[in-house]
Structure 1
Amino acid sequence: MINIWKNIFFGEMDLLGAASLNRLKYLDINGSAFLLYILKGRLKTMLFLCLLATTYVGILSVSLYAGFMGMMAGIFLSTAAMRYGIKGIFLIIAGTFPQYLLLVPAYLMLMRWCWQICAGLYYPHKVYENGYGMRQQYYMKKLLQLTIILVAIFIGSLIESYVNPILLSRFLKMF
């Protein structure tokens, strides 16, 4: 896709362009405002996926979301590699580390959680026979899992708001 639409990513959109990276070098980020911005987006996504999980299309929705996120990561990495070579890959690592050590597992757990909720609602014979016991116990376990996912997303967002801007600006000054 990157090769086919190269003009869009390198021309019109200027994804990871030198000018935008130069602005990031010296950008002073308000951590609390950035945290609210990040949490707003992540919680909307989480709520949307959880709501879709309660519908008949929950499994399909989670699958499409996983595919979309994988495609976007591929586009981002490919653009960085084509524009800057190996330095571009390190740029992406600097931009996503350390928060993605929490956020990737949290979103994988969220997608699994959504899949299991949908399966539990629409295919209960497959879920409750696998040692979960009573329906109430199953949903209490799901509530606890969702709380753990929410905490991981919150901590990852905190790291992204306060730690990552410092690391990224230091990396960009060497870039």
Structure 2
Amino acid sequence: MNFFKQRLRRFGEVKAGLFLVAFGVILGILFARVFKGFYWGNIHILDSSYLYQIKTTPIDYSVLLKYVYWDIFKNFILFWMVCATSFGIPFIALCLTYIGFQGSFFITVILMKYKLKGILLIIGYTFPQYLIYIPVIFISIRMAFWMNKNLHYDIAGKKGRREKISRYLAMALLLGVVLAVGGLSEAYIGSFILRKILHFF
């Protein structure tokens, strides 16, 4: 805990966050290249038969929407629950590193497999929902950081704590509504765009 507090004092939360994302990006690229032999045959998006199945299988949009909502909201709720505890700041640091790692690993693997054509696949898997998800993610991280700091490091009475918790909960609910819109766009618009793009593969 002291390590994270020292880094935050030295860099400030924004610079420290960007550093962690950049560190994750570098790790993701290195992992994708160095350990290619360990994972290459186990990633579905590298399998042409899997892509063909996505392209041709009829979609039950209500089932897809339930799956999308389950996937995004279980992580969203878990994130806010952990960030309300004393482990919140280390958890946020881990999340920022993971975001950088996951994004760079995903992009690197697709570009290694499909070269420039892989850019189309990246767009298909991320557009338009990530135009909503990315701002929600980083606003959530910033708000959760300040919530944790206010709850565990700032001196305040019980009334002050309740007011702060209510304010952050209201913000989390608002972000949840925006996230729900992102889920709708992923299930209906994103799936349509992905299937159209897959005709090039």
- The alignment's TM-score, normalised by the length of structure 2, stands at 0.77
1:1-175 aligned at under 5 Å gives the runs 1-13=31-43, 15-125=45-155, 135-175=161-201
| CA distance, structure 1, for counterparts of residue 59 and residue 154 of structure 2 | 48
The percent of aligned pairs where both chains have the same amino acid is 26
2:45 and 2:51 in contact (8 A); partners too? no
Q: Structure 2, unaligned stretches of length 5 or more?
A: 1-30
- What do the CA deviations read for 1:84-117 (whole angstroms, capped 9, x no partner)? 0111122111211001111111111111222111
Residues paired across the two proteins, number = 168
What is the DSSP-based 3-state SS (H/G/I as helix, E as strand, rest coil) of the residue aligned with 1:85? helix
1:54 and 1:121 in contact (8 A); partners too? yes
Q: In the alignment, residue 158 of structure 1 is paired with which amino acid? A: L
- What do the CA deviations read for 1:51-108 (whole angstroms, capped 9, x no partner)? 1112111011011012112211111100000000111122111211001111111111
Q: Structure 1, unaligned stretches of length 5 or more?
A: 129-133
| CA distance, structure 1, for counterparts of residue 39 and residue 120 of structure 2 | 19
Q: In the alignment, residue 175 of structure 2 is paired with which amino acid? A: I
Q: CA deviation at 1:141?
A: 2.7
| CA distance, structure 1, for counterparts of residue 171 and residue 144 of structure 2 | 11
- The alignment's TM-score, normalised by the length of structure 1, stands at 0.87
Q: CA deviation at 1:27?
A: 2.3
